[in-house]
Structure 1
Amino acid sequence: MPTPLVDWLRAQDDETLAVLLRLRPDLAVPPPADLTVLATRAGIRASVHRACDDLDRVTLIVLEALVVAGADSAPVPLAEVRRLLGPDVPGAALSGPLAALRERALVWGPDDELSLVPAALDVVPRHPGGLGRETAGLAGSSELPGMLAAVSPDERRVLDALAAGPPIGRSRAGSDPDSAVGRLLARGLLVRVDAETVELPRQVGLALRGDRPLGTVDVSPPDIGARKRGADVVDRTAGGAALGVLRQLELLIGFWGRTPPAVLRSGGLGVRELRRAAKEMDVDETVAALLVELAVAADLIGESDGVAPDWVPTTNADVWAAGGPELRWSLIARTWLDLPRLPGLVGRKDDAGRVIAALSESVRRPLAPRDRRRVLAGLAELRPGTAPGSPAALRDVLAWRAPRRGGRLRDEVVGWVLTEGTVLGVVALDAISTPGRVLLDKPDGLVGALRATLPEPVDHVLLQADLTAVAPGPLQPELAAELVLVAEVESAGGATVFRFTDATIRRALDAGRTAAELHELLAKRSATPVPQGLTYLIDDVARRHGRLRGGVASSFLRSDDAVLISEVLAHPDSAALELRRIAPTVVVSPLSLVELLDGLRAAGFSPAAEDTGGAVLDLTDKGRRTAPRRRAPGRTGSPPEPGGEQLAALVSRMRAGDALAGVRRDAGTRANGGIPDLLRSAAAARQRVWIGFVDGHGVAGERVLEPTSVGGGVVEGRDTVEGGLHRVPLHRITSIAMVESSSNDS
């Protein structure tokens, strides 16, 4: 008599059951009441499918062999499985897959009686092993060799083609009794499915395949073709990419702070707006879609409030921008790793033929973090600085390890992860970088890992004659802040190029810097002589800057040069500014100070703003901001993996539930005058008891207690299933029975 799965589970130790719950976490949600419930769930079709998603190609072939052997209906010996797999699978190669199947309770029993969950029939292909169905009317296997030896060459060609798989073929010649197919049908070596379809019976296919009943089985994974890149080269390249992506995100935040794009009515970002963002960041639209998705997921950008919301930077963006590059990159890298979306889908068409927009719901894929980690884990198995021979080689290895995982986008996801990881600096030259390894294994050390990868901050730049400055590495924070104020970033990366213009010099002067301070900054921080052209540029802009002084009156304009005030009033564009002269050197306007200064600059003047004390006032527009969303951390879409203590508690609860179920079946002791004596005996022996009772509302209940005291008409004890102390009045107990301790109890 075959051993039922529930009895096999009861015979296992607690550690084996804990491993089962860890490998198949869906079995523990909600917590099963006893082992009978666990065994029932373990055989459910959906759960079996999920359990098989983690199996490699060899283990799935062993599963097919068990199906071909009929282990789903009756136990089969291991020798039969070995015979079906043939000489390509030695005993050592079979022990691992069989252990994996047992750990997941897909297979149980000793080696001479292996049983398989029936739901496994839905996991294997329609024709397991490329074999057809067994035919009851076919002659016995002892007669098959003689029947096959007597077939003609044309009949043998038909049989060999179907034996190679699949076992189904179409032939209109089957109705002709003189054709090869007709003769095979007449002898039972083929069976008819319909008027034009025939099938090769399983017995015939196995006989034709000889000592390899399931065909050739390759137990070795594909060669990944490792290539050495050099750990230092990979890390330096990754560091440059990390700095570049931070600069691109800064440009995106600044751009959308000034001109926020609208949120589509269907959600997401318009194609033209994505194209504009890509142009602003100087990247292609694929990279722009990734950066937009990351900025929103990291809560640096969010939807504004209102009837017509826009995509606007949040106040978190300002906090993020104030951090060092290691902190800023750490947030972006963590966000990408756990992003439940596939930015690679942006620009494709969905099932309805519509283009998938960035930030839309169509990009959401809850299992994306799991697949992303799987690809990075495959890279991390290689030595530092080593890359796979090609992305295709990595795809083949991952497909061999989990053929059922990933769906129709499985192979494309590998390419997307490599591309996105390269943009971020997690991957470089197709090899995982040191920060990428830390991100995958110990994310708490990510800041230090990137800091070690980046070159030491430099305290100088190289001024060029074409009004540019080259930073040969990451700059010290204070120097970087000054250069961003006085120049525009022309290109970022390992070496950053800054360009000086009239507008950038005026911006620094508007922020309160003087020409002397700018000259001192450049002379002190440049490793090369300050070009004469840059000196002239600063002096020329400073000469014109601030000769006009504006204030709030709503606004006023003053100058020590009365002729200049007259020139402003005489300018054709001054009429729109609504200026009124109140003194030879002072005019006022009802416009705001910002509008007044912008109008004067448009007319060709170079005014500066001042505060109530006469100091230069910085009116730089920081852009719009919205409140952060404070959304809950995203979920990966799969059940959370329980911890060791939680697994132990679940196993203990199922054991207690099993014991309780047995007590329910066997309990015969009813409430009578002997209940207090039974409870006192149990308390003295520290033995558990099962009690049935009714509460104050007349509702029946039950509980397993370990009594600690009996007196005053009340029993008090610890609930061994749910925990905690409970008190039950003796007069409410309706039935009671002792719970025998199991061998697995601690």
Structure 2
Amino acid sequence: MSGTTLADWLRAQDDAALVALLRARPDLATPPPADMSVLATRVGTRASIARACEDLDTFTLAVLEALVVQGGDSEPVALATLTQVLGPDVKPRPLKQAVARLRSFALAWGDDDALSVPPVTREAFGAHPGGLGRRTGQTYDLGGITEGEQRVLQKLAAGPPIGDTKDASRVVPLEKAETPVQRLLARGLLLRRDPGTVELPREIGLALRGERPLGPIQVTEPKPKTAVLPQNGIDATGGGEALELVRHVENLITSWSAEPPPVLRTGGLGVRDLRKVAKDLGVDEQRAALLIELVVGADLVANTEATEPEWVPTTKADVWLAATAEVRWATVAHAWLELPRLPALIGRRDEKDKLFTPLADEIRRAQAPRDRRWVLDTLAAFPKGTAISNPADLAALLGWRAPRRGGRQRDELVRWTVEEGTAVGVLALGAITTAGRVLLDEGPGHAAKTLGDALPAPLDHVLVQADLTVVAPGRLEPDLADEMALVANVESAGSATVYRISEATVRRALDAGRTADELQELFKIRSRTPVPQSLSYLIDDAARRHGRLRGGAAGSFLRCDDPVLISEVLAHPEAARLELRRIAPTVVVSPLPLADVLDGLRSAGFAPAAEGPDGQVLDLRPGGRRTTPRQRTARKPVSPAVPADERLGEFVRLVRAGDRAAATPRGERVAVPGNLGAGPSATLSLLQQAARARRRVLVGFVDSHGTAAQRVIEPHVVGGGVLEGYDHSYGEVLRFPLHRVTSAALVDED
């Protein structure tokens, strides 16, 4: 049986089919192939076939393997013979659909009675496709074999078909054979590969395996157990997670502004610093690790790369902190989507028992963004509101759709993506949120607006409780949120945030310049519940004692209208450490910075306040350290980008033009030797002839970067060392120095 060559089969395909091929396998178009023979060669390369197989589902891969088992890599096979390998469960319709898909990938070509596959396809299935040995083309008689011989054959038939044995050292006649292996070798039912190895012929393996030689084959994809939930409920839950994420990131930036953790000598962040972040934020270590990876991935924190490097917030963090909650979320969520790392590995150990730590190079995975999108795109393909509660069901679905993608950790990758996506607010209740769907399709800008529309309007009020707690029943307006963060500490967060007010938090607000009257007015206006007397008393009492001591820069000074209080301060043991010295009955000075003096007095139980030159209370809270954002390098894509269909169509036209040029009579095709200045006279004559006749020319040239390329142009001007012509495909006029032209051929248009 003979079949057409791959190049001829490709030539017979229409342009739409070739565009679909280049879209499915974009590596074939990089760089654009010169003609159909070049394209056919690329189709059959080992790396390209392996990459294409990553996009095939389980059943289509089984059909491709069956083609290899039947010898389609050496001679054409009929479609009908595939059922001998695939088994009776495979019906004609899905089989034809799978073969059509293989043809669309150019992994198989030819008519149904003469299907072929590229020769190196066999290597995509390991040394023994289907777990079967070499084909011999012989017919074997298995009658009369003993029970021992049957066991040997059955074991090799199950795969692999190779067995190690001492009995293969030499082949003896049947009458002298003593062991099952020797007898099988003597009868030709085993093949001797070398003195210690035997192989079972493929024909015998197929016969012994029965009617399903490749085992059970799942023709259709598994159906995960799903539930339909209200989309607004999914969005509300995801919105709550998004706000929680923003709050945690904000607190992490604030914490590291004041106390940046050191960078380990090996890179990354130490375990103790990870535990401190988890404790400060009130989250588990896995969540803390994810947050750390996100703030660095979003360029909100960076390595200072100094002599003693630290992880310090960048100047971008200030822009982020000033943005709205939805914009802050979109920035972090997009950073997670594009993060080339696997945060879920943190806390695990590698094969050498080395612990994976946050921000370490060991958890970098270039394919992580691609795999993350793969999982999310699958969820987004379900109708809105469809939830898959069990990640194992989703992993089974993805495992069937692309069994060669994701590696050994595929199922874990699915679970990690679902867990992290839920923590980030892209997923909720096992379904994708509307904002998450927009993030995938349209980017962070549109996703921020979508989240803002889904979130309830910010509240302008709180509920003050008698136990000095304040409940925010939802997201607060930015100015109110800032005031509450100043005067109270967050005790618990979620859909409702609970704040705790104490003397220390009231004093913090007073230190920042708020007055007692302003704090009383804040709760009076903003609280929907009556302000308890205990809170009013607390504010008034703290304000009464606050600021009786006044500090300024001398180094620094303290002043007080009450000389007795000054004497009390000087009598305290802390006064010696602060080097306090009385210069007047109501004035004390120190050479230390004012902030250090005030902190020392507060730790001693006093309540001083800082004042500025105008006598008003001065906020001395540190603004936090900042570093310059690192210069980001463009992330190299794991797989080639897919050009637009218009561009692919141009590649197809270029390939066909190359074919026509190759078929042009010899006298109308000129190759230009290098270093010939304006080019030989034959080239000039050919190009000038094309210009006069308005014919198109396939021009091969080397650009200024040394890259070889080809374009089909219509010459307008040929002379003065320059070729100028119009490229109809790109709609532009091109100029080529003739010394860069490497080949030229007239092209006859169809």
The TM-score with structure 1 as length reference comes to 0.89
Aligned position for 1:13: 14
Aligned position for 1:697: none
**Aligned: 1:54 with 2:55:** yes
Whole-angstrom distance in 2 between the partners of 1:498 and 1:713: 79
**Aligned: 1:424 with 2:431:** no
CA contact (8 A) 1:240 1:494 kept: yes
Q: Report the more deviating stretch, 390-399 or 80-89.
A: 80-89
Q: Using the TM superposition, give the Cα deviation of residue 169 of structure 1 relative to its aligned residue in structure 2, in angstroms.
A: 5.8
Whole-angstrom distance in 2 between the partners of 1:232 and 1:330: 19
Aligned position for 1:682: 690
Match of 1:724 among 718, 729, 733: 733
Match of 1:708 among 702, 712, 716: 716
Aligned position for 2:259: 259
Q: Using the TM superposition, give the Cα deviation of residue 637 of structure 1 relative to its aligned residue in structure 2, in angstroms.
A: 2.5
In the alignment, residue 638 of structure 1 is paired with which amino acid?
Answer: S
In the alignment, residue 456 of structure 2 is paired with which amino acid?
Answer: P
Secondary structure at 1:329 match in 2: helix
Q: Using the TM superposition, give the Cα deviation of residue 579 of structure 1 relative to its aligned residue in structure 2, in angstroms.
A: 2.8
Aligned position for 1:87: 88
In the alignment, residue 95 of structure 1 is paired with which amino acid?
Answer: K
CA contact (8 A) 2:548 2:560 kept: yes
Secondary structure at 1:605 match in 2: coil
CA contact (8 A) 2:661 2:747 kept: no
Aligned position for 1:647: 648
Secondary structure at 2:509 match in 1: helix
Whole-angstrom distance in 2 between the partners of 1:87 and 1:218: 12
Q: Report the more deviating stretch, 177-186 or 517-526.
A: 177-186
Q: Report the more deviating stretch, 586-595 or 665-674.
A: 665-674
Q: Using the TM superposition, give the Cα deviation of residue 328 of structure 1 relative to its aligned residue in structure 2, in angstroms.
A: 0.7
Q: Using the TM superposition, give the Cα deviation of residue 170 of structure 1 relative to its aligned residue in structure 2, in angstroms.
A: 6.9
Question: Structure 1 residues 736 and 433 mapped into 2: Cα distance closer, same or farther (>3 Å)?
Answer: closer
Secondary structure at 1:596 match in 2: helix
Aligned position for 1:239: 239
In the alignment, residue 16 of structure 1 is paired with which amino acid?
Answer: A
Whole-angstrom distance in 2 between the partners of 1:343 and 1:403: 23
CA contact (8 A) 1:669 1:736 kept: yes
Q: Using the TM superposition, give the Cα deviation of residue 318 of structure 1 relative to its aligned residue in structure 2, in angstroms.
A: 1.9
Q: Using the TM superposition, give the Cα deviation of residue 480 of structure 1 relative to its aligned residue in structure 2, in angstroms.
A: 0.8
Whole-angstrom distance in 1 between the partners of 2:634 and 2:700: 44
Aligned position for 1:269: 269
CA contact (8 A) 2:650 2:729 kept: no
Whole-angstrom distance in 2 between the partners of 1:283 and 1:733: 64
Q: How many percent identity over aligned positions?
A: 56
Whole-angstrom distance in 2 between the partners of 1:379 and 1:692: 46
CA contact (8 A) 1:58 1:219 kept: yes
Question: Structure 1 residues 305 and 170 mapped into 2: Cα distance closer, same or farther (>3 Å)?
Answer: closer
Q: Using the TM superposition, give the Cα deviation of residue 490 of structure 1 relative to its aligned residue in structure 2, in angstroms.
A: 1.4
Q: Using the TM superposition, give the Cα deviation of residue 405 of structure 1 relative to its aligned residue in structure 2, in angstroms.
A: 0.9
Question: Structure 1 residues 395 and 689 mapped into 2: Cα distance closer, same or farther (>3 Å)?
Answer: closer
Q: Using the TM superposition, give the Cα deviation of residue 663 of structure 1 relative to its aligned residue in structure 2, in angstroms.
A: 4.5
**Aligned: 1:400 with 2:400:** yes
Q: Report the more deviating stretch, 483-492 or 154-163.
A: 154-163
Question: Structure 1 residues 167 and 676 mapped into 2: Cα distance closer, same or farther (>3 Å)?
Answer: closer
Q: Using the TM superposition, give the Cα deviation of residue 247 of structure 1 relative to its aligned residue in structure 2, in angstroms.
A: 1.6
Whole-angstrom distance in 2 between the partners of 1:638 and 1:215: 32
CA contact (8 A) 1:129 1:214 kept: yes
Equivalent residue runs for 1:659-674 within 5 Å: 659-663=660-664, 665=666, 667=668
CA contact (8 A) 2:694 2:714 kept: yes
Whole-angstrom distance in 2 between the partners of 1:524 and 1:734: 80
Question: Structure 1 residues 412 and 636 mapped into 2: Cα distance closer, same or farther (>3 Å)?
Answer: farther
Q: Using the TM superposition, give the Cα deviation of residue 191 of structure 1 relative to its aligned residue in structure 2, in angstroms.
A: 4.2
**Aligned: 1:4 with 2:43:** no
Q: Using the TM superposition, give the Cα deviation of residue 690 of structure 1 relative to its aligned residue in structure 2, in angstroms.
A: 6.5
Q: Report the more deviating stretch, 94-103 or 507-516.
A: 94-103
Equivalent residue runs for 1:78-227 within 5 Å: 78-135=79-136, 138=138, 140=139, 144=140, 147-148=141-142, 159=153, 162-168=156-162, 177=177, 184-191=184-191, 199-209=199-209, 211-227=211-227
Equivalent residue runs for 1:441-452 within 5 Å: 441-443=441-443, 444-452=445-453
CA contact (8 A) 2:654 2:711 kept: no
CA contact (8 A) 1:376 1:432 kept: yes
Q: Report the more deviating stretch, 598-607 or 50-59.
A: 598-607
Whole-angstrom distance in 2 between the partners of 1:702 and 1:12: 22
Whole-angstrom distance in 2 between the partners of 1:738 and 1:562: 103
Whole-angstrom distance in 1 between the partners of 2:17 and 2:639: 22
Whole-angstrom distance in 1 between the partners of 2:729 and 2:93: 42
Aligned position for 2:746: 739
CA contact (8 A) 1:63 1:124 kept: no
Q: Using the TM superposition, give the Cα deviation of residue 34 of structure 1 relative to its aligned residue in structure 2, in angstroms.
A: 3.3
Secondary structure at 1:724 match in 2: strand
Q: Using the TM superposition, give the Cα deviation of residue 332 of structure 1 relative to its aligned residue in structure 2, in angstroms.
A: 0.8
CA contact (8 A) 1:653 1:721 kept: no
Gaps of 5+ in 1: 695-699
CA contact (8 A) 2:461 2:527 kept: yes
CA contact (8 A) 2:133 2:205 kept: yes
Q: Using the TM superposition, give the Cα deviation of residue 371 of structure 1 relative to its aligned residue in structure 2, in angstroms.
A: 0.6
Q: Report the more deviating stretch, 167-176 or 279-288.
A: 167-176
Question: Structure 1 residues 702 and 304 mapped into 2: Cα distance closer, same or farther (>3 Å)?
Answer: closer
Q: Using the TM superposition, give the Cα deviation of residue 570 of structure 1 relative to its aligned residue in structure 2, in angstroms.
A: 2.8
Secondary structure at 1:30 match in 2: coil
Deviations 1:359-405 (CA, angstroms, capped at 9, x unpaired): 01111100000111111122223333333252211111111111111
Question: Structure 1 residues 514 and 403 mapped into 2: Cα distance closer, same or farther (>3 Å)?
Answer: same
Whole-angstrom distance in 1 between the partners of 2:682 and 2:40: 38
Whole-angstrom distance in 1 between the partners of 2:741 and 2:121: 45
Secondary structure at 1:302 match in 2: strand
CA contact (8 A) 1:473 1:495 kept: yes
Aligned position for 2:28: 27
Q: Report the more deviating stretch, 405-414 or 151-160.
A: 151-160
CA contact (8 A) 1:545 1:606 kept: yes
Whole-angstrom distance in 2 between the partners of 1:354 and 1:452: 46
Secondary structure at 1:115 match in 2: coil
Q: Using the TM superposition, give the Cα deviation of residue 573 of structure 1 relative to its aligned residue in structure 2, in angstroms.
A: 1.7
In the alignment, residue 609 of structure 2 is paired with which amino acid?
Answer: A
Whole-angstrom distance in 2 between the partners of 1:675 and 1:300: 59
Q: Using the TM superposition, give the Cα deviation of residue 541 of structure 1 relative to its aligned residue in structure 2, in angstroms.
A: 0.5
Q: Using the TM superposition, give the Cα deviation of residue 463 of structure 1 relative to its aligned residue in structure 2, in angstroms.
A: 1.6
Aligned position for 1:250: 250
Q: Using the TM superposition, give the Cα deviation of residue 294 of structure 1 relative to its aligned residue in structure 2, in angstroms.
A: 0.5
Whole-angstrom distance in 1 between the partners of 2:381 and 2:76: 39
Q: Report the more deviating stretch, 676-685 or 642-651.
A: 676-685
Secondary structure at 1:107 match in 2: coil
Aligned position for 2:376: 376
Over the aligned positions, Cα root-mean-square deviation in angstroms equals 3.4
Deviations 1:517-541 (CA, angstroms, capped at 9, x unpaired): 1111112212222222222211111
Question: Structure 1 residues 505 and 205 mapped into 2: Cα distance closer, same or farther (>3 Å)?
Answer: same
Q: Using the TM superposition, give the Cα deviation of residue 128 of structure 1 relative to its aligned residue in structure 2, in angstroms.
A: 2.3
In the alignment, residue 352 of structure 1 is paired with which amino acid?
Answer: K
Aligned position for 1:577: 578
Q: Report the more deviating stretch, 532-541 or 26-35.
A: 26-35
Question: Structure 1 residues 169 and 489 mapped into 2: Cα distance closer, same or farther (>3 Å)?
Answer: same
Q: Using the TM superposition, give the Cα deviation of residue 547 of structure 1 relative to its aligned residue in structure 2, in angstroms.
A: 1.1
**Paired residues, what number?**
729
Question: Structure 1 residues 702 and 18 mapped into 2: Cα distance closer, same or farther (>3 Å)?
Answer: closer
Deviations 1:182-214 (CA, angstroms, capped at 9, x unpaired): 655544344456778654422123334554444
CA contact (8 A) 2:658 2:698 kept: no
Question: Structure 1 residues 710 and 46 mapped into 2: Cα distance closer, same or farther (>3 Å)?
Answer: closer
Aligned position for 2:319: 319
In the alignment, residue 682 of structure 1 is paired with which amino acid?
Answer: A
Whole-angstrom distance in 1 between the partners of 2:371 and 2:553: 58
CA contact (8 A) 2:340 2:369 kept: yes
Question: Structure 1 residues 273 and 108 mapped into 2: Cα distance closer, same or farther (>3 Å)?
Answer: same
Q: Report the more deviating stretch, 88-97 or 127-136.
A: 127-136
Question: Structure 1 residues 728 and 482 mapped into 2: Cα distance closer, same or farther (>3 Å)?
Answer: closer
CA contact (8 A) 1:339 1:634 kept: no
Question: Structure 1 residues 737 and 533 mapped into 2: Cα distance closer, same or farther (>3 Å)?
Answer: closer
Q: Using the TM superposition, give the Cα deviation of residue 57 of structure 1 relative to its aligned residue in structure 2, in angstroms.
A: 0.5
Whole-angstrom distance in 2 between the partners of 1:711 and 1:357: 65
Q: Using the TM superposition, give the Cα deviation of residue 167 of structure 1 relative to its aligned residue in structure 2, in angstroms.
A: 4.1
CA contact (8 A) 1:290 1:343 kept: yes
Aligned position for 1:415: 415
CA contact (8 A) 1:550 1:556 kept: yes
Aligned position for 2:676: none
In the alignment, residue 281 of structure 2 is paired with which amino acid?
Answer: M
